[in-house]
Amino acid sequence: MFAYHVADSSACAVEFNKVWKSVWSFFDTNHPPTRQAVAESLGMLTRCITSSMVQASLTGGEAGTPSVQGIISQITKALDALTFASATRELLSVISALVSSLNIHVEPEKSTTAAEALLIPLLSKVADLRIQRNFEHKEAADVVLSTAMRVVGPAVLLAAIPLNLEPADR
């Protein structure tokens, strides 16, 4: 798919949702190597996201347009779903790849990235999961937050995620 994206990004964007749904359907398996392969495939697929797909998601887009917002919603719901509980580490790696891929400037005259415009609620959710006592995948969540820090910058990320420095907040 990435080779298709390099050759003709607009044609690849048309097929993006179909490929994403096909690969995603294998994510809820109990077979760890399959989940890892799915996460790698989805991570590579995020590199096919174009600025036109991002603009369509930000403006509401038109029917039939690949929706980055739909993908983000799907991932957010999967973090809460019991069927995807065994795939949390892999979901976090897909989120990290998505953050990296959305390092697209929405408006050239501003420093706002697509990750900042679209992913802040998802990043807040990852940060909330990270501080839960029984959360097993803190290292994978740290990778997501580290990637977000690099893409959106510390000021944006720290404004969205509480630092919990006050004793009452801990």
The tokens describing 78, both together, are 């999967």
Q: Residue 2: what pLDDT?
A: 72
CA distance linking residue 32 with residue 27, whole number of Å:
10
Residue type, 6: V
What per-residue confidence (pLDDT) applies to 127?
93
Tell the CATH topology of 2-163. Leucine-rich Repeat Variant (1.25.10)
- Contact between 76 and 88 (Cβ < 8 Å): no
The confidence score (pLDDT) of residue 28 equals: 84
Consecutive 10-residue averages of pLDDT for the chain (170 residues): 79 88 90 94 92 84 68 93 91 96 82 88 93 91 94 90 65
CA atoms within 13 A on the CB side of 57: 23
Residue 94 confidence (pLDDT): 96
* Phi, psi for residue 117 in degrees, rounded to 5: -75, -30
Question: What pLDDT sits at residue 62?
Answer: 57
**Residue at token pair 């797909």:** 53
Quick one: pLDDT at residue 170?
55
